[in-house]
Amino acid sequence: MRFDVMRTPGVEARRGRLTTTHGIVETPAFMPVATHGAVKGVSPWLLEELGATIVLSNAYHLAQRPGVELLQALGGVHGLLSWKGPILTDSGGYQLFSLAALLRVDDDGVEYRSHVDGRRGRFTPENAVEVQEAMGVDIAMCLDECIAADAPPARVEEALRRTTAWAARCAAARRRPETALFGIVQGGFDPALRARSAGEVAAVGFDGHALGGLCVGEPPEQTRDIAAATVTHLPAERPRYVMGVGTPNDLLTFVSMGYDLFDCVLPTRNARNGMLFTREGKLTIRNARHAGDPRPVDEACACPTCRRFSRGALRHLMMTGEMLGAQLASLHNLYFYLHLMREIRAALEEGTFPERARAAAGAWA
């Protein structure tokens, strides 16, 4: 993997290019989420049409079902997703955190009971890397220990210590140089611990670095404060990834800090619940006032949904529970996110990003 930064004078935000085995990702970039091997309701060819260049999946979930052997028989994760471009997989640290009642963590790794069939299993830093390499992903994530936002200081310190030790073990377990490996920064909501974690993880020598342990129940302003306090401790020559965020405002905010990669289920999850993003702000398509509206969701939008369907038609599909309604809403929201990232990259190239970010601030709060 190669990462080139085209610097923008006067701002921390940067325009970059990430070159992987399966293609190039222009950054800053948003990664649609295909946790179980598919972006919900959106085919891979439509993702390409929307402008996606990289997608994110989850190694823990894919290891549970269909399993690594079946996945390899299907052509790896690229074959399963029918996706020709780059794929990043999360190792599953956050997912294991969310399944806390089913696991036990010690210094060696994580003992869990599968949420799929109840089988006992063990996840270690070594097999987290082995599984992701076997899947044929372009970017693999280290195994880290993610904890709750209200965890006591001693628990935060313990998770940081384990995350650092596991990072070194992940790096030592690498066997496929074509699979990039990113380290993950933890440290709760203590800026000093975040700085320490960033320094320790960066010292291992990864291809990129991610900010983990956010969006776990903390207020949004606390997320932003920690991201801002951490970014200066991450190597500028490597890609920086904020995991699991967020709203369009979040993307603008974190890009302005100097982060490069983002993922979130928000565009498709909100779409399935009838909340759509437009240039004028958020729109709740289920509201009765849209029933007879012949306009598209966003008159300035060129997505397939806005080109062919009215607000009234989309509302009808959503209210009657037709699968097409959720699919069309998801197409629109993903296009909105991906188009926003294209506009951000263009603004960085033109030197107008600060003005663009200020003009949009608060529109999607």
- Active site (catalytic) residues: 90, 263
Neighbouring C-beta atoms of residue 357, cutoff 10 Å: 19
Closest to 98 measured CA to CA, from 65, 56, 57, 145: 145
Where is 120: in which H helix or E strand?
A: strand 120-123
Q: What is the DSSP letter of 164?
A: H
Phi, psi of 299 (to 5 degrees): -65, -15
Look-up of token digits 């008159």: 299
Distance from C-alpha of 262 to C-alpha of 267, rounded to nearest angstrom: 12
Distances (CA, A) of 191 to 57, 140, 195, 231: 29, 26, 6, 11
Closest to 272 measured CA to CA, from 317, 235, 238, 232: 317
Concatenate the DSSP letters of all residues of 262-295 into one string: EE-SHHHHHHHTTEEEETTEEEETTSGGGTT--S
Residue 89 · residue 135 · CB < 8 Å: yes
Distance from C-alpha of 79 to C-alpha of 322, rounded to nearest angstrom: 29
Residues 6+ positions from 324 with CB-CB distance below 8 Å: 317
CA 197-202-206 angle, 5° bins: 130
CA 8 to chain centre: 24
CA-derived radius of gyration, the chain: 20
Residues 6+ positions from 267 with CB-CB distance below 8 Å: 32, 277, 330, 333, 334, 336, 337
Distance from C-alpha of 50 to C-alpha of 142, rounded to nearest angstrom: 29
